[in-house]
Amino acid sequence: MYEERPSRLTGAVVWHRTPEDPAVRPVLPDGCMDLLYSEGRLLVAGPDTRAYVPGGPPRAWAGIRFFPGTAPTLLGVPAHELRDARVELTDLWPAARVRRLRDRVEAAPAPGAALEGIALDLAARSAAAPDPLLHRLVECLDAGSPVAATAAELGIGTRQLHRRCLTAFGYGPKTLARILRLQRALTLARSGVPFAETAARSGYADQPHFARDVRELAGATLGELLSGQRCEQVDAVAVGIVHGGVPLAPEGVPRLQLPVVPGAHEILVHGVDLGRRAAPEGEPDPARAG
């Protein structure tokens, strides 16, 4: 079972998962990073560019999911160094400091609340204030604005925008826009909007384009995703906060549980080849160059 609540840290979400359900369900890319606790271990979940499938036997987890772009400042590590990775906190911080934090979490009645307290302490001690440009960047890209137009809106060049995105989100603005578009589309599809209309409203060329992007980023077909066969939850923090002009506040963070569209898998057969994969959408990545 998975549950969550808005955090006292603006834009963040506190969550926990119990191990009663043995099903393995991937977590979809959402532009976020998490501080995690499970069985005496503190870890950091970096930004994903593809669906993450947990390994090992089911176990209890607690976490705090940060608003996109905010975790690198709090944790002191650029997001691109943790892209598509789950790392021990001891790989980032001194072991003695991590032991103190682990003891704090284990002594608390609720691990998630303890993680939230740690995050609030980090924010209070941080010398750097949240970068308003990052919030505006997410807003522009989530609204479907092209990267060049977004850079012009923010008053910076496209190369500078790419560098700042790598540090804050773990990947460039094109990948971030693609992830936000997918989350935006899945939100519409799960609300019952027909797939062709969902594709058009989300910025896809057509319904097959939408289906291919789902397969590429989620590792599942639209039918599997929306019928709940492969994925229980969509991490839509970024979209939920900024989509449709909703203010940036914890109260604006919806979470989506599946299945919510009965028979959605039956809608897919109208001329759409759900098995095809999209060609890779490449973009320059200085963090991995050389």
- pLDDT, tens only, 64-116: 999 999 999 999 999 999 999 999 999 999 999 999 999 999 999 999 999 99
Burial of 58 (0-12, 13-18, 19+ CB in 10 A): middle
Please report the pLDDT score of residue 250 as a whole number.
34
pTM: 0.75
pLDDT over 80 at 238, yes or no:
no
What domains appear along the chain, each with residue ranges and CATH number?
2-125 (no CATH), 132-288 (1.10.10.60)
Give residue 33's pLDDT band: very low, low, confident or very high (50, 70, 90).
Answer: very high
For 157-216, what is each residue's pLDDT tens digit? 999 999 999 999 999 999 999 999 999 999 999 899 999 999 999 999 999 999 999 999
- Give the CA-trace dihedral at 21, 44, 55, 223, to 10 degrees: 70
Residue 52 pairs in a beta bridge with 27
In the structure, what pLDDT confidence band is assigned to residue 1 with cuts at 50, 70 and 90?
confident
Give the pLDDT confidence of 125-154 residue by residue, as tens digits.
987 777 788 889 999 999 999 999 999 999
Average pLDDT over residues 12-23: 85
Give residue for tokens 């050389």: 290
Q: What count of other Cβ atoms lies within 10 Å of the Cβ of residue 76?
A: 11
pLDDT of residue 50: 93
DSSP tag of 39? T
